[in-house]
Structure 1
Amino acid sequence: MATQIDRRSLLAGAALGGVTLAGATAQAQSRTGQAAREVYELRTYRLVNGPMKERLDAYLRDAFIPAARRAGCGPVGAFTVTIGPGSPGLYVLVPYPSIEDFVALPGRLAGDKRYAKAAEPFSNAAPGQPPYASLDVKLMRAFPRFPRVEVPGTSGSNTDRIFELRTYFSHSDTAGATKFGMFDTGGEIEIFRRTGLKPVFFAQDLTGPRLPSLTYLLTFPDLAARERSWSSFGSDPAWRRLIATPGLTDPEITTGIDNQILKPTPYSEI
């Protein structure tokens, strides 16, 4: 089940991709005074229509999210897919203070008696009543200049609020680093903010099927606000100059983009 994710395999894959996950990173942050960068686990639960989602919702709401918060993780986001591939499905975003906290979570859950009690229906699910069809996990690390999740405010109707999950893929490490730099140091995040594209996180993907890649999450009061903000962004003079710069054009540094519109569940903390 969800507590049995093979974290060692995920970390091994990240290391093979040339990612330094612990000691050297901490030393560099200490030297530069940078804020500690969160590590994100993005769980993708694949579902089938019927009672499956209700069972998974109960586990996440009553067992996993409260226990993860007691373990020092969070805020935890839980989202359903409304536009794009993956429906029916559920995304769960778990921020960790460090990679060590990601590795330690299963042990902390195992020692949490309240979690064990609340998770019994999930942990002991019968083969004919599974809580999900399959589970994929992606591990990410926050950008240096966007080191922590930014939880959106509560103004407006939460029933209308949407989130947009986007992943950019590149053909080489050099191209991926260039796209990463456009956001982190090249001013693209500032253009996002100015034009109403409110970010929740920006992260480098450490694991995944199409590395190198980066992922970010935006939020909007509703779909109409999303359309207005993207229109404003597309016509922004600073963005037009940036995207036309030789070496920074999409054909040179990106091979594709995945995009989904999500809705927060009633129990989502983001």
Structure 2
Amino acid sequence: MKRRDFLKTSLAATTFAGIHSTLTAAEGGQMKREFYELRAFVLKPDKQKLVDDYLGKAFIPAMNRLGVSPVGVFYDAPELNPPPTPKPGQPPPPPAPMPPSLYVLVRYTSLDQIATVATRLAADAEYQKAGEAYLRVPAMEPVYDRIESSLLLAFEGMPALDAPGKKARIFQLRTYESHSEAAGKKKIEMFNKAGEIAIFRRCGQRPVFFGETLVGQRMPNLTYMLTFPDDDARKEAWNKFRSDPEWLKLKVMPEYADKNIVSKIWNRILKPAPYSQI
């Protein structure tokens, strides 16, 4: 074996072993931590209905039959995601890449579910029939430009997803990138052990999930989702958070200063699909 191929194989094996060890430890803890798959779709024009029909009539029912539930589906809300305002005296920022137009959040409770779901879906005749228009779309009529998928491990401080029910609601999806793995772990510690999750709850920022990204884009990072009745409630809760006495003390601790542990924050406001289970 060539040295280059040997190094690639060794690195892949080491990476997989580390992830497997983390996942196995999570399953064996005092309270099992869930796993989340977050899929982001950049859809082709005029393909929204086809994807909605597939997700609502084929994918979600099939996943529920496999014991995977709830499944959330969310639309990007452009009217609630205005482009950044340039700072005085600065040129406008370059146009951002087209954001995903649809997100799917799948909750798994075990490693077995993750490992077997694709095979079981392939063998599900009802799913294959209900999803035929999407699954067998012609090559000249693609549904999307791409799908990006991340695998997340729930935080110790919030090991299970908390679905908000079917009342009027919006969601905020946030990703915190870090410059190193150690810095990313420190930000997770800030949520888990230093009390940031509790501050969120007290200020009206209801968490749906918190997850450490094990496999995905822009690593190392963590991703979480909050829910609010509407955008006014979201703004009010964040204003309350920014002036919270405990937060003001926490954020000035050197070990938790953003400049030391967070390199970039990505943020989108989403609305649930009518058939979303979250």
**Superposition TM-score, scaled by structure 2 size:** 0.84
Aligned Cα root-mean-square deviation (Å): 1.9
Deviates more, 1:96-105 or 1:183-192: 96-105
How many angstroms apart in 1 are the aligned matches of 2:193 and 2:15? Answer: 24
Superposed displacement of residue 135, structure 1: 0.9
Q: Does 1:148 align with 2:160?
A: yes
Q: 1:133 to 1:167 in 2, by over 3 A?
A: same
In structure 2, which of residues 244, 260, 268 is the aligned counterpart of residue 236 of structure 1?
A: 244
Give the 5 Å matches for 1:214-253: 214-253=222-261
2:241 is matched by which residue type in structure 1? F
Give the 5 Å matches for 1:47-62: 47-50=43-46, 52-62=47-57
Superposed displacement of residue 14, structure 1: 9.4
Aligned match of 1:117: 129
Aligned match of 1:9: none
Query: What SS is found at the alignment partner of 2:142?
Result: coil
Aligned match of 1:267: 275
Q: 1:219 to 1:181 in 2, by over 3 A?
A: same
**How far does the alpha carbon of each residue in 1:83-140 deviate from its partner, in whole angstroms, 9 at most, with x for none?**
4465461100001112221121011112212111101111221123222221111110
How many angstroms apart in 1 are the aligned matches of 2:221 and 2:238? Answer: 21
How many angstroms apart in 1 are the aligned matches of 2:132 and 2:234? Answer: 40
Q: 1:199 to 1:13 in 2, by over 3 A?
A: farther
Aligned match of 2:105: 93
| Percent identity of equivalent pairs | 45
Superposed displacement of residue 48, structure 1: 2.6
1:126 is matched by which residue type in structure 2? P
Superposed displacement of residue 68, structure 1: 0.6
Aligned match of 1:104: 116
Aligned match of 1:179: 187
Aligned match of 1:63: 58
Query: What SS is found at the alignment partner of 2:141?
Result: coil
Do the aligned partners of 2:155 and 2:212 also contact (CA within 8 Å) in 1? yes
Query: What SS is found at the alignment partner of 1:181?
Result: helix
How many angstroms apart in 1 are the aligned matches of 2:24 and 2:238? Answer: 39
Q: Number of residues paired by the alignment? A: 249
Superposed displacement of residue 49, structure 1: 2.4
How many angstroms apart in 1 are the aligned matches of 2:266 and 2:14? Answer: 21
1:15 is matched by which residue type in structure 2? T
2:59 is matched by which residue type in structure 1? F
1:193 is matched by which residue type in structure 2? R
How many angstroms apart in 2 are the aligned matches of 1:254 and 1:220? Answer: 24
Q: Which entry has the higher C-alpha Rg, 1 or 2?
A: 2
Aligned match of 2:264: 256
Do the aligned partners of 1:43 and 1:135 also contact (CA within 8 Å) in 2? yes
Where do 5+ consecutive residues of structure 2 fail to align? 1-11, 82-96
Deviates more, 1:255-264 or 1:118-127: 118-127
Aligned match of 2:208: 200
Q: 1:58 to 1:257 in 2, by over 3 A?
A: same
Q: 1:94 to 1:164 in 2, by over 3 A?
A: same
How many angstroms apart in 2 are the aligned matches of 1:165 and 1:54? Answer: 23
How many angstroms apart in 2 are the aligned matches of 1:142 and 1:13? Answer: 24
Q: 1:22 to 1:166 in 2, by over 3 A?
A: closer
Q: 1:49 to 1:167 in 2, by over 3 A?
A: same
1:92 is matched by which residue type in structure 2? V
Q: 1:123 to 1:96 in 2, by over 3 A?
A: same
Superposed displacement of residue 58, structure 1: 0.7
